Chains A and B, each alone.
Chain A
Amino acid sequence: MLALRLVGAYLRAQPLRVLLAVLGIALGVATVVAIFTLDANTVAARLEARAGDEVRADLQATLSATAGKPDPESRAALVALPGVARVGTAGFTQAEARAAGASGPKAALELIGISGAVEAFGAFDLSAGGSWGETWSAPPRALPPLLVSEELARERGWGLGTVLELEAPPVSLDPVRRCEDGRWVEERSAGAAVARARPPAVVFEIAGLLRRFRLGARAAGRVAIAPLEEAARVRGVPALDRVIWIQRRAGVDLAELRAAVRAALPNAAVDSAVTAAIGEEPDERAFRNGVRVAGVLALVLGLFVIFHALSIALLQRMRTIAILIALGLTRGAIARLFLLEATLIAGVGAALGALLGLLLAKGLLVSGLTTLGVVEGGVQLFVVPWRQVLTLALLGFALALAGAAHPLWRSRSWSPDLILRTRDLPAGRGVFERVDLFFAAVLLVCIPLVYFFTIEVIGRDAERVLVVFLGGLAAFALILASLHLAPGLLGALIRLALWPARRILPLEAELVSRSMSGLFGRVVVGVGGLALVAAALVALRGMTDSLRGEVRAFADAALRAKLFVTLVPRDEQDPRSIADFRDRPLEGEWLRTWCAAQPEVVGYELASLRLDAPFPIRALPPEQARWGLLAERADLRERFADPRQPGLLISRRLAAFEPELLRRGTIALPARTRSGAIEVRVLGVCDDYGIFQTERSFGVIAPEFFRLFQCMDPEQISAFTLKLRSGAEAAAVVQRLESELGARFGVRWKTGEEKLAFELADIDRDFFLFDVILALVAILAGLGLLHSLWIAALERLREIAILKAVGFTPGQVRVLFGLEALTTGALGGIFGVLLGVPLLWLVIRGLRALSGLDLPFVLPWTWMAVAALLSALLGLAAGLLPAWRASRLEPAPQLRGE
């Protein structure tokens, strides 16, 4: 009871200081809770938007019926890859079914052939018949098993054990044909007729009823699942077009696995599945981890403030402690008393912070800010990641509590006798040095452990994120340590920062210099916090400047003086116009002739010929390549144009992500030939040709490849890119194009400069979240400094009274504190800029490796100046309230001697 009364009395007597302490914890916890909640909801919202009826896989590979190896070999090759946990295959075809021996109409259905661990991907649930794995591994059956949808079975009166006959529909799919030398030819086996006759029916036994399936929304619920080989037998072909799903092992890097799968299945189109890979692309992961690092740093700063606040509070009450000891209270009881107080403050702060954090996350989501960029219209979903929220709130609570432990431990050495004898209390410098070192130790041990406990950092990410994270923490700790280990350094910096003020306000500057040099701990709190904010601003803006610089460099090669044209039906609502557009696209000859007649046009690329496996590939007529690498290198152009041995140019980003492409010098591209693939030469790297809105990993190849091996007609054009001469008026070219084609087509166009502007704006939009986090961290730093200056005012009451007694005006007192706040801010800015430069270097280095982009490292001089200035202004703002309070001090009570 006594403890509660004493604690309650203190909390009531110091409401503002208690409020500041609670706010410090709350803001730190709120920021980090908001960020982790935001991230969880970002992923969940994308999953919800994209999952639908999709299977839960990490990667999917699409293979045509004849491409590459047969299914068992493909699956075996994939399972053998170290990062693969399970593989499942599904092939799709149509069929008709009827009970064996029955007459009457057959049921049309979609027949899906499966092999491997498809059920484990959540592809379907059975309502009867046991699991597919049990069915498949059961003793050999007389008839192959079949799973049928409940709806179909109910409709036809089928059940478990019903024997069905399945056969291909009478009108088959497109005949099996191959592209040979640019012409479609039908497949012929030796001595057999053209496969137009219906293959014989295959008999199955229903072994299970499907309650739910995610293997396609087609067929309106009329679905049957059979072993893959049997489904192909129904179709009468050796193999079906198929999809292979791949689940990775925990901790495996998605991009690395994708590259390995592409190497194992060279004829497959391999990409991330729509479900499990949300936010797992390297650049997305870098962005998300960057946001989370920023959040944890905010928590660190909030706790830094609290550590000092609790230490200062304890120092302020040394006399109280001494009196309590003199009255007979044991040190243990006193420790429990202060721990109770710290528990109350930390508990309220952490709880309030968790609540504020959830509210903040909700607000950010509704406004469209996510950890994967801006979402138009906002995000309505809201789930609470309780494990992470509670962990972070508990972390904030525990570390705040630890902040009380250190001064309590130090107070063991205080002598109550000495304290009660003297009027003045010992200065706090020694205590604060050790507080900072204690805090730094807690920082370096606890924060990384908890951080990596609350997120999944996998593969190559772990090392890079750890480097950046610990680099930032180490630099922060270095600032604290250097300021304590080299007090002369801080003193010199203070005098330097005050030098301009000495010219105008010599007395005030001298008093501030003495005050700041005398109380290190307090100054370090303020400087350290603001330095962190300034460093984060420099690093963030330097990073966005670097990204913008890289985009500009890319744009200089890929976008400059280009006009991107897409043709659409003249009337997109008119079926005849649509049909006309489909049947009579633009002729290649027309485009060649027209471009040759335009003085502004240097050449063109074809955007309507496309291949998306193993990466996006577009067509470039060699004779049109009158700019860039092919214009400079006649030998390369010759090899590029060789129709028998096509050559491929790849983008810089693709070369960075898959360096073995250049090392091997060749790559197998899927083709509609008998072999299913064509090996092409990788000739070189450049970004001069081909641009895709969001994809930077791509290749360009001559149109002959598409004609010869894909049987695509390069003379039928619906989209193209014009390369213009430098300084040419794009609008004039468009006007002429529209006047020529306007009667037949709608013409949509964009200049390269417009695309560049969009990309640059995209960067700013996506990184706006960091600006929000930075603003929160700045508030925290300002709060810490405000608290520190408030304490300073309380510690110097007598000094202020003396100055007023000898003639200091209230305005001069305000100037004193304002000058100290401004100087602290300026010092924070200087340290922050010094810290921000190596931090930026670390971040750029990490981003380069993660993204494969050639990010330039350029010092953001303007932002360095802005960071220093903002830090000074933030310091000044934080000093306003303490200055005002100090100026209103009544000197008389402090000067009484009776």
Chain B
Amino acid sequence: MSDQEAPALRVRGLYKFQRERSREVAILKDISFELPRGRFLAIMGPSGSGKTTLLHLLGGLETPSAGAVEIDGKDLAGLGERKRALLRREAVGFVFQFFHLVPNLSVRENVALPLRIRGQSGRSVVERVDALLAQFGLVAQADLLPPQLSGGEMQRVGVARAVIGEPKLLLADEPTGNLATGQGEEVLRWLRRLHAEHGQSIVLVTHNPRDAAYADEVRFLVDGALLAEPRLTGADVDAAKIHACLRDLKI
């Protein structure tokens, strides 16, 4: 299968063990799934279910104990830290719950960071950044530092930074976890627009059914295992049905 046809993400038999005291504990067990291009997948689970660990493995920030992750047809297995960083630079965008902006850099500089890491500079970078700032309503905040922004503004900057490099895959880890309801909804609408208008492939991990309802597909992660069922797609993806699944799963 050529890269053009490869799914945005393919995961096979993913395991992650962690040593606690003298024994090994399985954080993730036998995770396997595919994310077609342009798909918006939400993975739901309670606290401690391994959602963040899964996301970090998908983005190459951690290495699995077993299994394989392919991003845009490129296998992360066997890659050293440097090559994973290079792959992440080109193909992955992260949105974090705690925003994780570089505190010494302005909004403009934080958004431009991925391009500058790639070695790009000059007019093209400036224009791209300006366009995104306008798109995300951050023009007025362009020269402010992160401590001077509201939570919603910081997360918009985080999203802008994540997408400026046109990554093959966008990974969002509880992006609304530290935001007020209104701010959170605003961020999710941005994610939805990116998906709808630009065909962005997105994996969102959350414990909030309202957030998951913005996705095309919802799956559930319980005790480190990705459940085959229930699995909501299409019209079934709404908050009420998601709530019902959670009740049934007793999570």
Contacts and interface: CB of A to CB of B under 8 A. Distances in A.
Contacts of B224: none
Interface stretch (A62-70, A476-484, A887-895): A887-895
A802 interface: yes
B82 interface: yes
Nearest to B51: A898
Interface stretch (B111-119, B129-137, B182-190): B111-119
A805 interface: yes
Given A804-B85, A810-B81, A892-B61, A514 B104 contact: yes
B121 interface: yes
Interface in A799-824: 799, 801-812
B161 interface: yes
Using C-beta atoms within 8 Å of the partner chain, give the interface range for chain A. Answer: 20 to 34
A799 B85 contact: no
Interface in A212-234: none
A507 B53 CA distance: 29
B85 A807 contact: yes
Contact of A897 (B52, B81, B118): B52
Given A806-B89, A808-B85, A506 B100 contact: no
Given A802-B102, A892-B56, A897-B177, A807 B89 contact: yes
Contacts of B61: 804-805, 891-892, 895
B45 to A, nearest CB: 10
B85 A809 contact: yes
B48 A898 contact: yes
Given A804-B85, A809-B82, A811-B82, A895 B96 contact: yes
A898 B55 CA distance: 12
Which of A808, A809, A896 is the most central at the interface, judged by chain B CB atoms within 10 Å of its CB? A809
A511 interface: yes
Contacts of B117: 507, 803, 806-808, 812
Contact of A805 (B48, B53, B100, B177): B100
A806 B114 contact: yes
B94 interface: yes
A97 B86 CA distance: 106
B116 A890 contact: no
A728 B116 CA distance: 70
A510 B86 CA distance: 21
Contacts of B86: 807, 809
A897 to B, nearest CB: 3
A208 B94 CA distance: 102
A812 B85 CA distance: 10
Interface string B91-104: 00010111011111
Interface string B58-99: 010110000000000000000001100110111000101110
Contacts of A811: 82
A72 interface: no
A815 to B, nearest CB: 12
A851 interface: no
B96 A897 contact: yes
Nearest to A805: B94
Interface in A504-525: 506-507, 510-511, 514-515, 518
B47 interface: yes
Which of A511, A806, A808 is the most central at the interface, judged by chain B CB atoms within 10 Å of its CB? A806
Contact of B56 (A507, A511, A895): A895
A802 B101 contact: yes
Contacts of B144: none
B220 to A, nearest CB: 16
B105 interface: yes
Contacts of B53: 892
Given A805-B100, A807-B88, A892 B174 contact: no
Contact of B174 (A423, A518, A799, A897): A897
B173 interface: yes
B125 to A, nearest CB: 11
Which of B82, B89, B103, B121 is the most central at the interface, judged by chain A CB atoms within 10 Å of its CB? B103
Contacts of A434: none
B43 to A, nearest CB: 13
Nearest to B97: A897
A725 B104 CA distance: 73
B98 A897 contact: yes
A808 B88 CA distance: 9
Interface string A424-466: 0000000000000000000000000000000000000000000
A798 interface: yes
Contacts of A514: 104-105
A801 B53 CA distance: 15
A506 B117 CA distance: 10
A371 to B, nearest CB: 49
Nearest to A894: B100
A518 B102 CA distance: 13
B118 A802 contact: no
A511 B52 contact: no
B94 A507 contact: no
B85 A898 contact: no
A898 B104 contact: no
A424 to B, nearest CB: 8
A809 B60 CA distance: 12
A810 B48 contact: no
Given A806-B161, A892-B62, A799 B81 contact: no
A804 B101 CA distance: 12
Given A802-B102, A897-B52, A898-B51, A809 B96 contact: no
Interface string A827-871: 000000000000000000000000000000000000000000000
A548 to B, nearest CB: 49
Contacts of A515: 104
B82 A799 contact: no
B150 to A, nearest CB: 16
Contacts of A812: 117
Contacts of A891: 61
A819 to B, nearest CB: 15
Nearest to B147: A424
Contacts of A805: 59, 61, 88, 94, 96, 100
Contacts of B90: 807
A505 to B, nearest CB: 10
B64 to A, nearest CB: 12
A801 B99 CA distance: 12
A506 B48 contact: no
Which of B86, B94, B177 is the most central at the interface, judged by chain A CB atoms within 10 Å of its CB? B94
B104 A511 contact: yes
Which of A510, A812, A891 is the most central at the interface, judged by chain B CB atoms within 10 Å of its CB? A891
Which of A799, A812, A898 is the most central at the interface, judged by chain B CB atoms within 10 Å of its CB? A898
Contacts of B47: 898
Nearest to B173: A897
Contacts of B48: 898
Nearest to B103: A799
Nearest to A801: B100
Contact of B118 (A518, A799, A807, A810): A807
Interface string B160-181: 0100000000000110011000
Contacts of A892: 53, 56, 61-62
Interface in A768-824: 798-799, 801-812
Which of B86, B96, B100 is the most central at the interface, judged by chain A CB atoms within 10 Å of its CB? B100
The 3 closest A-B pairs by CB, nearest first: A807-B89, A897-B97, A514-B104
Interface of A: 423, 506-507, 510-511, 514-515, 518, 798-799, 801-812, 890-892, 895-898
Given A806-B88, A897-B97, 14 more contacts: A506-B116, A507-B113, A802-B102, A803-B117, A805-B61, A806-B89, A806-B94, A807-B85, A807-B88, A807-B89, A808-B85, A895-B52, A897-B52, A898-B51
25 contacts: A423-B98, A506-B116, A799-B102, A802-B101, A803-B117, A805-B88, A805-B94, A805-B100, A806-B89, A807-B85, A807-B117, A807-B118, A808-B85, A809-B85, A809-B86, A891-B61, A892-B53, A892-B62, A895-B56, A895-B98, A895-B100, A897-B96, A898-B47, A898-B97, A898-B174
